[in-house]
Amino acid sequence: MPIDREQVEHIAALARIALTDAEKEAFARQLSDILDQFEVLQTLDTAGVEPTAHVAGLDTVLRDDEPAESLDAEDTLLNAPRRRGDLFQVRAVLDE
Amino acid sequence: MSTPAASDLWQLSVAEASRLLANREISSVELTDACLERIAAVDDRISAYITVTADIARQQAADADRRIAAGDASPLTGVPMQIKDLLCTNGVATTCASRMLAEYVPVYDATAVARLREQGAVMLGKGNMDEFGMGSSTENSAFFPTRNPWDTSRVPGGSSGGSAAAVAAGAAPFALGTDTGGSIRQPASFCGVTGLKPTYGRVSRYGLVAYASSLDQVGPLARDAADCALILQAIAGHDPRDATSLPDPVPDYSAALTGDIKGLRLGVPREYFAEGMDPGVRATVTAAIDQLAALGAEVREVSLPTTEYALACYYIIAPSECSANLARYDGVKYGYSYQDDGRGDVDMWEAMERTRQHGFGPEVKRRIMLGAFALSSGYYDAYYHKAQQVRTLIRQDFARVFEEVDALAAPVSPVTAFPIGDRTDDPVRMYLVDVYTLPVNMAGLPAMSVPCGFSDGLPVGLQLIGSHLTEGHLLNIAHTYQQATEWHQQRPGIPHRGR
């Protein structure tokens, strides 16, 4: 299935990745090549086949609801690119 | 065996080192120093390490020597190791070979790392890899490629290429890697070392930086199967921090190494010897299977008809999970963050898009895009849902075959180590290198790569595949083969500096 430049821009927007013009060209070509490899799946009849969730069949794993220590604020913020006091600092989310 | 000279200690296997340490014929400090010297001597040509933690290693070695003196030793106490840089190490940078995490310092250990530390294993440093585990050659490291110790113009395989190269070059007695589509087995094959991908869920994924969570698994790379058994023993088992880890009890893996495979029903899947395979790989793997027959295995051909669909299935499911997992890199909580130097002309969305543009390398972007597409409205049923159904068929294929045979033998990869740069411009050609390792991950099975010879001077790996939780069985097949052969003892002659 061929992917054009417009579709690449749509996917990049979904994935929140800015792309250069050169990247858009390359990805359109490469993603088309890769999707061609996927066509083989359409030749398999999978009507009524259950999709795989866990390979060993684990299902709805529950644990006891026991309080435990979690990371303290300093550790949590240790790798924050920008912080203000004990808070992560982010850009404005709402328009003025 | 006499005690080796201090400068040669880096050549010891894990089992040999463990015995000499326990008998106090050598100290962990001596062994660790020998390994650090070996790294200093060869890693400028191999580039197996992103970070060498010499000070931590010496400290841990001294601690290990005190534990051994106090009679409080486990089999891995004092044995040095390398950790793939995808596994979190408390207080030590864990970069995933990505610009995105170049300065990320975890505040906790991955469970597999914590269990090795509890045993007293010594961390030499962090291994190079394809960025976030996405690649087959370690050329996708954002920092530098790792070189194959057998031929430094060639790749070591990937994504755990730094781990395999380090073990092959003697720059670590063992390494901890991860395998999502072949990332332990394929580099082990390319570098002539022994690698084990355990059953999905056998080892906790807690602290493994997520790529494709339904496929990722931690496992050892070492010189032989006996060493892999010791390492798996330390890291296997249920972990309340990973709900997908299996509750099954952990057997004694070393006790499984009986050296006897008489009557073993060994299947050879015909689809794993398809056209396009390197003739040298075919001949070498066929000879290894003949040797297993001579050792008592009953070899029979079997068929896994869904093999040809596994590649497409993998490259839908893994990128889909990747696109969801890597959505966390938004430049807010940790990792690289695009800054506009206070001009304030970039809004939140644009900052996020530029963070991801500059923080991720090309293959990671390619897989995120592929996954975002496969999960997007209008395409989900045709791609993602279809692939998850095909995955069920692949699992059923294996289950049917394991009613007839105890294990499968096949090549790890259709090719040997290829020249650096040979496949980087063609993603599909790169993906085909893993065509015989991907199906195992789709079904969550345990599998090994065992050195079984050379093709044009480059190592070839025999792949052994078992049904769920048969690691002990696979280790015994590999061990029995290694008792009868010397391929796993071959070491590369690394060319001198400036050549």
Per-residue pLDDT reduced to its tens digit, B25-74: 999 999 999 999 999 999 999 999 999 999 999 999 999 999 999 999 99
Q: How far apart are CA B122 and CA B128, in angstroms?
A: 18
Residues B28, B21 contacting (CB under 8 angstroms): yes
B498 pLDDT exceeds 50?
A: no
Judged on CB neighbours under 10 Å (0-12, 13-18, 19+), B11 is middle
Reply yes or no on domain A5-41 having CATH 1.10.20. Answer: yes
Read off φ and ψ for residue B411, nearest 5 degrees. Answer: -70, 155
Q: Give how far A34 is from chain B: nearest CA, Å.
A: 6
Prediction ipTM score: 0.95
* pLDDT tens sequence across A2-13: 899 999 999 999
Contact of B184 with chain A, judged by CB distance below 8 Å, is answered with: no
Catalytic (active-site) positions of B: 84, 159, 183
Q: How far apart are CA B489 and CA B224, in angstroms?
A: 8
Do A46 and B393 make contact, defined as CB atoms within 8 angstroms? yes
A56 pLDDT exceeds 90?
A: no
Whole-number pLDDT of residue B499: 38
Whole-number pLDDT of residue A63: 86
Q: How far apart are CA A38 and CA A36, in angstroms?
A: 5
B236 pLDDT exceeds 90?
A: yes
Q: Of B108, B376, B298, B389, which is closest to residue A31 (Cα–Cα)?
A: B376
Q: Give how far B177 is from chain A: nearest CA, Å.
A: 21
A41 → closest Cβ in B312, B357, B442: B312
Beta strand ranges found along B63-162 (DSSP E): 80-84, 122-127
Type of residue at B469: L
**Region label for B169, one of left (φ > 0), alpha (ψ between -120 and 50) or beta (otherwise):** alpha
Whole-number pLDDT of residue B6: 85
Identify whether B159 is preceded by a cis peptide bond (ω within 30 of 0).
yes
Q: How confident is the model at residue B342 (pLDDT cuts 50, 70, 90)?
A: low
Q: Which residues of A touch B339 (CB under 8 A)?
A: 81
Q: How far apart are CA B227 and CA B221, in angstroms?
A: 9
Q: How far apart are CA B11 and CA B38, in angstroms?
A: 10
- DSSP states along B397-447: HHHHHTTT-SEEEEES-SS-PPBTTSSTT-HHHHHGGGTTTHHHHHHT--E
CA-nearest residue to A95 within chain B is: B347
Residue B325's CB: how many other CB atoms inside 10 A? 18
Q: Mean pLDDT of all residues in chain B? A: 96
* pLDDT tens sequence across A80-91: 999 999 999 988
Mutation choice for B interface testing from A20, A32, A44, A66 by most B CBs within 10 A: A44
B356 → closest Cβ in A17, A81, A82: A17
Alpha carbon dihedral B473, B445, B412, B209, in 10-degree steps, equals -120
In chain B, what are the domains?
A: 6-267+405-489 (3.90.1300.10)
Q: How confident is the model at residue B496 (pLDDT cuts 50, 70, 90)?
A: low
Could you tell me the residue ranges of all domains in chain A?
5-41
Q: How far apart are CA A56 and CA B247, in angstroms?
A: 11
Q: Of B116, B103, B133, which is closest to residue B172 (Cα–Cα)?
A: B116
Residues B242, B206 contacting (CB under 8 angstroms): yes
Element of type H or E holding B118? helix B111-119
Q: In this predicted model, which residue has the larger pLDDT, A50 or A59?
A: A50
* pLDDT tens sequence across A27-42: 999 999 999 999 999 9
Residue identified by tokens 């057998």 is B150
Cβ burial A44-74 (10 Å sphere, 16+ → b, else e): bebeebeebeebbeeeeeeeeeeeeeeeeee
Kind of pairing, strands B407-411 and A87-88?
unpaired
Task: Scan residues 283-322 of B and list those with Cβ closer than 8 Å to A.
Answer: 306, 308-309, 311-313, 315-316
Helical axes B14-22 vs B225-235, angle rounded to 10°? 70
Q: How far apart are CA B63 and CA B81, in angstroms?
A: 15
Distance (Å) of CA B88 to CA A91, B62, B91, B110, B208: 29, 23, 9, 5, 6
A93 pLDDT exceeds 90?
A: no
B244 → closest Cβ in A19, A54, A82: A54
Q: In this predicted model, which residue has the larger pLDDT, B343 or B290?
A: B290
Q: How far apart are CA B292 and CA B298, in angstroms?
A: 9
B1 pLDDT exceeds 60?
A: no
A61 → closest Cβ in B243, B323, B428: B243
